[in-house]
């Protein structure tokens, strides 16, 4: 018996050794700089590691799912290592970091032996800017399956630091409207730091690991999955993926976790990385691996600029005469839209909104109307409410306002990231497209690749934007540094409705940013529709060259380049529209910052025009510099813009 027992122990140890010592399954980027190794650890758990030029960026990180009661996270066996295949895709975006996108990657699918009728495969695609992977469940039959746990982790060295957005407690905050992704980022914190509210950290999450930059997020959110984030605890730098909190559904009988019949697949988990912040800024990986457009006719979709009274003038501005003035303001500025915010249904009314829509059409301006998303998930009283949650009521409403000449929707106050909400977002985008309406989601989740799949989605808030500066002084105090984080985090994976650019003073608030900083955000922050906070009084108090710049600034871009920056301190980017480059920079610190702008990185250029801060924080100066090297001094909390043309 003792010999038999000893033999059994030795046999198990032998199998364990074979599992651990088995060569890793690898897949590399086309340029061979990025490599992913996949293997089974001693528990039979699938793990992956990420390398950049042979330097380990992610230490062994776990993979796997639990489906109902079937554990696909341990004691797994590889059935097929797959083969490496090249993947190429070319597509056009209506708006985004750039219009024409090309994706090249190497793909490998590792299949595991089926367990209880469920086959798990994990697909990896590695491109020159990062890694994407997703789970694929194989099987058949009418039985509904529920993914109760995803064992994905991102395991960083303990020396790494992070820029992270605290995830809020569900149904907390004003009128139970959380989580809405509207917190300040915690900046340059040690990995392993516990989250502020005990609910983990939101995507996208930025890390600095072994002198490399890494952005982690998810994309291609399908209908049958839930949104996710990172867990509260991250011992020794290992961040595990977390599913939504229990209240994050549209109702008690609506699904929270991924629920579907087999076969099905998860969203992609994406890891963008590089030696500098350039890949973070320039990568289109979030849309590269997302589904192509599901919208047939896209001719109604028009990106653009918009006036918006509410951000500074609040509810009192939602009246007929004020909105007519803002329509005229948009027309004078050459902007495409005017947004009419909450309470328009009671303070203006449908009939008068129709009159405003006809007036706007004569002026070449389109109207966007605000709606409350409410079902039962929050108590926000703002109206119109209960007009979009029910499908039949929603379609009647969309038909009615489209007949009135309305061109867009701003839908606010969503209730979380459960599967039912992921489905609801996609219902809204699909129905809006059927009625020729563009969409802006506020109080919402992050964009998860949807701008490619549903191109009528122009923008999403999911950011502590300018309106928060008008609420409380502490938000205004943190705004300069906060703004320098956003191009490398939230705005790096999708459009962001920050509602930038304010030249006015704010009632009861001391604005910390200079007018140069404000002007720069018109370029720095990307959104398919840019709702400017600048009201007529503030705009027309500026020099003519500033007003002219705001008339010309594009929202559709052909290219983006990282120039220089460090999140929390400095952000300088360049965006190209046609043959004109727009360079913008902001200083997140309360000290002067010498900065040399080298325009030669943009190729051969000519006719530079520079707008910088003047002597005071509300003064601006225009210069026409010579040469390709410009020596600037960024003022405390200041900024600049520079336009330059490519030589023919």
| Residue 522 Cα distances to 132, 191, 515, 587, angstroms | 31, 33, 11, 15
Where do we find the tokens 């030669």?
600
Contact between 634 and 585 under an 8 Å Cβ cutoff? The reply is yes
Rounded Cα gap, residues 129 and 279, in angstroms = 6
Rounded Cα gap, residues 534 and 143, in angstroms = 54
Among 573, 639, 640, CA closest to 611: 640
Q: Which two tokens stand for residue 647?
A: 């030589």
Contact between 522 and 553 under an 8 Å Cβ cutoff? The reply is yes
Among 464, 429, 424, 383, CA closest to 178: 464
Rounded Cα gap, residues 427 and 389, in angstroms = 10
The domains located in the chain, with CATH, are: 23-288 (2.70.98.10)
Q: Report the alpha-carbon angle 482-211-52, nearest 5.
A: 120
Rounded Cα gap, residues 344 and 490, in angstroms = 30
Where do we find the tokens 């380049």?
561
Total residues belonging to the chain: 648
Contact between 109 and 121 under an 8 Å Cβ cutoff? The reply is yes
Alpha carbon distance, N-terminus to C-terminus of the chain? 87
Q: Region 420-447: what's the mean pLDDT?
A: 98
Q: How confident is the model at residue 21 (pLDDT cuts 50, 70, 90)?
A: low
Among 180, 530, 551, CA closest to 368: 530
Q: How confident is the model at residue 359 (pLDDT cuts 50, 70, 90)?
A: very high
Q: Where are the alpha helices (DSSP H) in 525-586?
A: 536-539, 544-552
Q: Which two tokens stand for residue 418?
A: 């459960």
Q: Region 30-38: what's the mean pLDDT?
A: 99
Contact between 170 and 73 under an 8 Å Cβ cutoff? The reply is no
Task: Print burial letters for 326-355: b (CB count within 10 Å at least 16), e (below 16).
Answer: bbbbbbbbebbbbbbbbbbbebbeeeebbe
- pLDDT at residue 648, as a whole number: 83
Q: Region 153-178: what's the mean pLDDT?
A: 97
Centre a 10 Å sphere on the Cβ of residue 183 and count the other Cβ atoms it contains. 21
- pLDDT at residue 15, as a whole number: 44
- pLDDT at residue 14, as a whole number: 46
Rounded Cα gap, residues 227 and 415, in angstroms = 12
Q: How confident is the model at residue 10 (pLDDT cuts 50, 70, 90)?
A: very low
pLDDT tens digits along 633-643: 999 999 999 99
The answer to whether residue 305 scores a pLDDT higher than 70 is yes
The answer to whether residue 615 scores a pLDDT higher than 80 is yes
Contact between 116 and 229 under an 8 Å Cβ cutoff? The reply is no
- Judged on CB neighbours under 10 Å (0-12, 13-18, 19+), 606 is exposed
Q: Give the lowest-confidence range in 14-28, 172-186, 201-215, 437-451.
A: 14-28
Where do we find the tokens 């509210």?
197
Among 184, 190, 265, CA closest to 220: 265
**pLDDT > 90: what percent of the chain?**
94
Rounded Cα gap, residues 89 and 94, in angstroms = 16
Q: Which two tokens stand for residue 432?
A: 């809006």
Where do we find the tokens 């528990």?
43
Rounded Cα gap, residues 5 and 9, in angstroms = 6
What is the SS3 assignment for 482-497?
Answer: HHHHHHHCHHHCCCCC
Contact between 621 and 545 under an 8 Å Cβ cutoff? The reply is no
Across all residues in the chain, what is the average pLDDT? 96
| Residue 67 Cα distances to 249, 260, 261, 443, angstroms | 20, 11, 11, 31
- pLDDT at residue 140, as a whole number: 86
pLDDT tens digits along 256-293: 999 999 999 999 999 999 999 999 999 999 999 999 99
Do you find a cis peptide bond into 204, omega within 30 degrees of 0? Answer: yes
Pairing verdict, β 408-412 and 438-441: parallel
Q: Which two tokens stand for residue 281?
A: 């800024």
Contact between 570 and 187 under an 8 Å Cβ cutoff? The reply is no
Contact between 463 and 498 under an 8 Å Cβ cutoff? The reply is yes
The answer to whether residue 526 scores a pLDDT higher than 80 is yes
- Judged on CB neighbours under 10 Å (0-12, 13-18, 19+), 469 is buried
What is the SS3 assignment for 203-262?
Answer: EEEEEEECCEEEEEEEECCCCCCCCCEECCCCHHHEEEEECCCCCCCCCCCCCCCCEECC
Q: Region 410-432: what's the mean pLDDT?
A: 98
Rounded Cα gap, residues 38 and 616, in angstroms = 56
**Which three-class secondary structure state does DSSP give residue 362?**
helix
CA atoms within 13 A on the CB side of 95: 22
Q: What is the pTM of this model?
A: 0.96
The answer to whether residue 374 scores a pLDDT higher than 90 is no
- Judged on CB neighbours under 10 Å (0-12, 13-18, 19+), 269 is buried
Rounded Cα gap, residues 59 and 48, in angstroms = 8
Q: Which two tokens stand for residue 229?
A: 């984030």
Task: Print burial letters for 206-239: b (CB count within 10 Å at least 16), e (below 16).
Answer: bbbbeebbbbbbbbbbbebbbbbbbbbebeebbb
Where do we find the tokens 């704010």?
506
Q: Where are the alpha helices (DSSP H) in 306-414?
A: 310-313, 320-333, 344-347, 350-362, 391-404
Q: How confident is the model at residue 19 (pLDDT cuts 50, 70, 90)?
A: very low
- pLDDT at residue 557, as a whole number: 99
pLDDT tens digits along 51-93: 999 999 999 999 999 999 999 999 999 999 999 999 999 999 9
What is the SS3 assignment for 143-172?
Answer: CCEEEEEECCEEECCCCCEEEEEECCCCCC
Rounded Cα gap, residues 644 and 603, in angstroms = 11
- pLDDT at residue 13, as a whole number: 47
Rounded Cα gap, residues 534 and 309, in angstroms = 9
């Amino acid at each position: 018996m003792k010999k038999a027992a000893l033999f059994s122990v030795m046999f198990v140890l032998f199998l364990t050794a074979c599992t651990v010592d088995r060569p890793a399954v690898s897949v590399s980027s086309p340029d061979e700089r990025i490599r992913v190794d996949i293997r089974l650890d001693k528990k039979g758990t699938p793990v992956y590691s990420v390398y950049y030029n042979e330097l380990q960026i992610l230490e062994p990180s776990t993979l796997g799912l639990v489906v109902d009661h079937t554990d696909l996270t341990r004691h797994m066996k590889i059935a097929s290592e797959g083969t490496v295949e090249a993947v190429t895709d070319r597509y056009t975006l209506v708006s985004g970091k750039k219009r024409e996108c090309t994706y090249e990657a190497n793909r490998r699918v590792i299949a595991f032996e089926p367990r209880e009728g469920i086959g798990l495969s994990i697909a990896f695609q590695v491109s020159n800017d990062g890694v994407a992977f997703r789970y694929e469940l194989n099987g058949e039959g009418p039985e509904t399956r529920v993914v109760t746990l995803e064992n994905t982790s991102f395991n960083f060295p303990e020396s790494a630091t992070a820029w992270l957005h605290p995830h809020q407690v569900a149904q907390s905050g004003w009128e139970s409207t959380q989580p809405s992704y509207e917190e300040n980022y915690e900046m340059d914190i040690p990995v392993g730091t516990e989250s502020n509210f005990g609910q983990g950290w939101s995507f996208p999450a930025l890390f600095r690991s072994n002198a490399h930059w890494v952005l982690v997020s998810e994309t291609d959110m399908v209908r049958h999955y839930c949104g996710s984030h990172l867990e509260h605890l991250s011992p020794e730098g290992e961040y595990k993926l977390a599913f939504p909190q229990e209240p994050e559904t549209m109702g008690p009988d609506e699904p929270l976790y991924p629920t579907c019949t087999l076969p099905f697949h998860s969203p992609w988990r994406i890891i963008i990385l590089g030696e500098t912040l350039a890949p973070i800024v320039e990568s289109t990986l979030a849309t590269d691996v997302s589904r192509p457009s599901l919208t047939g006719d896209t001719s109604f979709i028009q990106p653009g600029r918009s006036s918006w009274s509410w951000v500074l003038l609040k509810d009192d501005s939602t009246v007929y005469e004020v909105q007519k003035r803002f329509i005229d303001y948009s027309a004078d500025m050459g902007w495409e839209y005017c947004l009419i915010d909450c309470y328009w249904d009671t303070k203006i009314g449908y009939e008068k909104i129709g009159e405003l829509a006809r007036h706007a059409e004569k002026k070449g301006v389109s109207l966007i109307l605000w709606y409350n998303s409410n079902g039962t998930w929050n108590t926000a009283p703002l109206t119109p409410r209960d007009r979009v949650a029910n499908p039949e009521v929603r379609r009647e409403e969309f038909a009615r306002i489209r007949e009135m000449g309305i061109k867009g929707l701003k839908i606010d106050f969503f209730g979380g990231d459960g599967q039912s909400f992921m489905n609801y977002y996609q219902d809204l985008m699909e129905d809006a497209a059927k009625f020729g309406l563009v969409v802006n989601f506020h109080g919402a989740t992050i964009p998860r690749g949807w701008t490619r799949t549903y191109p009528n989605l122009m923008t999403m808030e999911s950011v502590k934007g300018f309106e928060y500066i008008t609420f409380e002084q502490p938000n205004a105090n943190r705004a300069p540094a906060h703004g320098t984080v956003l191009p490398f985090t939230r705005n790096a994976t999708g459009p962001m409705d920050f509602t930038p650019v304010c030249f006015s003073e704010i009632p009861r608030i001391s604005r910390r940013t200079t007018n140069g900083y404000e002007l720069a955000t018109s370029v720095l922050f990307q959104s398919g529709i840019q709702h400017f906070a600048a009201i007529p009084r503030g705009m027309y108090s500026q020099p003519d060259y500033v007003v002219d710049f705001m008339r010309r600034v594009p929202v559709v871009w052909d290219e983006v380049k990282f120039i220089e920056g460090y999140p929390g301190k400095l952000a300088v980017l360049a965006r190209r529209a046609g043959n004109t480059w727009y360079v913008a920079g902001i200083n997140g610190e309360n000290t002067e910052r010498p900065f040399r702008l080298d325009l030669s990185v943009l190729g051969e250029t000519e006719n530079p025009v520079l707008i910088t801060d003047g002597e005071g924080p509300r003064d601006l100066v225009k210069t026409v510099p010579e040469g390709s090297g410009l020596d600037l001094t960024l003022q405390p909390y200041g900024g600049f813009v520079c336009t330059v043309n490519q030589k023919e």
